[in-house]
Amino acid sequence: MSISIIAASLFVCTFVSADPIRFDGHKVLQILPHNVEQLEQVLQLHDLLDLDIWRLPRKNNISMDVYVEPEKLDHVLTEIKAIGADVKIWIDDLQKLIDEEKQPAKRSFHLPIPLHGKNAVFDHLSYHRFATIKQYLADVVTATQSMSTVNASLSTIGYSSEANEIQVLKVSRGDGQSRPSIFIDGGIHAREWISPATVLYFINQMVYGDEFDYAPQLLDKFDWYFAPVLNPDGYEYSHTTYRLWRKNRVPNGRNCYGTDLNRNFGYQWNPNVGGSTNVCSDVYSGTNAFSEKESTAVQTFLLNNNQNMVAYLTYHSYGQMWLYPWGYTSALPDDWQDLDAAAKIGTSALSELYGTQYTVGSSTNVLYSAAGGSDDWAKGGAGVKYSYTIELRDTGAHGFVLPQNQIEPNCRESWRGLAAFAMSLNARKG
């Protein structure tokens, strides 16, 4: 969910290459405004120079991460110093991180890797292309046909502008009983690869069993809906062409592509709050609420299945935050204390493995104001009480380019957090 206001260049919107665009010498700066005036001046600078803000502070005296191309670096550094804000180079060479991201991770004994299909192995410690993910979901369905204690069914809830399937996998006991349900999605923002990887890991643990033995309890108490890749076009484009692509790939005219799906949901939709009416902006909110096929598919599915839905969780990166509504205002929901308490149970359990610390709070008060988010709509529009945006690892060292060697620890701790959170909801229900 980390914000990026203007696309790095119009060139990126239209260029298609046999090889992905490289980022040699591209930097990520960490800028620290000391007062509101400095913060406003930095934000004016990003509009003027088309900067890509990866992480935006909600107030002064909190640092912001800003991606800068080499040809802009000297100008940006000069302007920031003239403003009086502190600035340092946080990531010196983005291409180096991208290269490191591709390095295979060492396998741990902790992770069960089931065989499926023709003795093929789906490696949960790697980032995968969309076609491979689709095949894995289909293979999970096939595998559960011979299982007596778990069932999986796959639905296509819509299609993207490039006619890719938007799929939801339901995992349940399959015993004919209807249970409270939890919906989990990933991949709304294309470049946040750790998000689909995490949701796929959850599926693996739920279906094949997990080291902590949470799966039996979670299946006894809930039906589960998983949508690992809500933005298949953008996700694939981030693999083939431009690693930092955020939006979907719908053509907008003016040689620009894409709408930020997490500014397009219909509860209190407002491009002036954290979004944009500029079709080239990375936070372009669309022509109207639910203008996009992907957000409409989620809307339709949730409204058709929300009768007994108790939680909606959308996984993003980065920043290590467990956020609840509202995103469009600093005001809190009437039941914010319930949301806060449940989230803190999740983050407390999450931290037990590696000591990873997550911040809990409302989106606006912890991160920044942004209308049109999926969690705001899930709560305010679909009536799902426990609705959250979860920002995964890390806190800035790698930003969106999280290396594959962090997939397993990220997923293991996230699984613990999810399990504790879900069981707390069951306990609250009594």
Is residue 281 assigned to a domain?
A: yes
A 10 A CB-CB count for 411 gives 24
pLDDT at position 401: 97
Among candidate residues 101, 136, 159, the one where a domain is terminated: 101
pLDDT at position 108: 57
pLDDT at position 1: 53
pLDDT at position 60: 56
pLDDT at position 130: 98
Contacts of 119 (CB under 8 A, 6+ apart): none
Is residue 48 assigned to a domain?
A: yes
Please report, for the domain that includes residue 186, its CATH number.
Answer: 3.40.630.10
Instruction: Count the domains in the chain.
Output: 2
pTM of the model: 0.93
Do 157 and 23 share a domain, yes or no? Answer: no
pLDDT tens figures, 211-241: 999 999 999 999 999 999 999 999 999 999 9
Is residue 74 assigned to a domain?
A: yes
Do 171 and 199 share a domain, yes or no? Answer: yes
Q: Residue 161 burial by CB count (10 A; 0-12/13-18/19+): exposed, middle or buried?
A: middle
User: Residue 279 in contact with residue 253, Cβ under 8 Å?
Assistant: yes
Is residue 203 assigned to a domain?
A: yes
Do 224 and 80 share a domain, yes or no? Answer: no
User: Residue 416 in contact with residue 350, Cβ under 8 Å?
Assistant: yes
**Number of residues that this document lists for the chain:** 430
The Cα 141–Cα 262 span in angstroms is 29
pLDDT tens figures, 126-157: 999 999 999 999 999 999 999 999 999 999 99
Among candidate residues 46, 73, 101, the one where a domain is terminated: 101
Is residue 224 assigned to a domain?
A: yes
Do 171 and 50 share a domain, yes or no? Answer: no
The Cα 155–Cα 42 span in angstroms is 45
Do 40 and 145 share a domain, yes or no? Answer: no
Closest CA to 424 of 351, 315, 340: 340
Do 129 and 237 share a domain, yes or no? Answer: yes
Do 344 and 210 share a domain, yes or no? Answer: yes
Which phi and psi angles does 198 have, rounded to 5°?
-70, -45
Do 75 and 164 share a domain, yes or no? Answer: no
pLDDT at position 63: 86
Closest CA to 68 of 41, 15, 31: 31
The Cα 24–Cα 66 span in angstroms is 16
Query: Mean pLDDT of residues grouped by 10 in the chain (430 residues)?
Result: 41 56 96 90 83 76 88 96 95 96 72 43 93 97 96 98 97 95 98 98 96 96 98 98 97 94 98 92 95 98 97 97 97 98 98 97 89 98 98 94 96 98 86
Is residue 221 assigned to a domain?
A: yes
Q: Note down the domain range covering 374.
A: 115-429
The Cα 260–Cα 1 span in angstroms is 10
Among candidate residues 101, 132, 157, the one where a domain is terminated: 101
Peptide linkage before 375 cis (omega within 30 of 0): no
Closest CA to 6 of 193, 276, 195: 276
The Cα 378–Cα 266 span in angstroms is 10
pLDDT at position 345: 98
Report angle CA 329, 332, 335 to the nearest 5 degrees: 145
Nearest-10 crossing angle of helices 70-83, 36-49: 160
Do 127 and 83 share a domain, yes or no? Answer: no
Do 90 and 208 share a domain, yes or no? Answer: no
Do 187 and 261 share a domain, yes or no? Answer: yes
Is residue 358 assigned to a domain?
A: yes
Do 205 and 316 share a domain, yes or no? Answer: yes
User: Which residues form the catalytic set?
Assistant: 391
pLDDT at position 14: 44
For 50-129, where are the alpha helices, taking DSSP H only? Answer: 70-83, 94-101
Please report, for the domain that includes residue 47, its CATH number.
Answer: 3.30.70.340
Is residue 107 assigned to a domain?
A: no
Closest CA to 16 of 336, 305, 237: 237
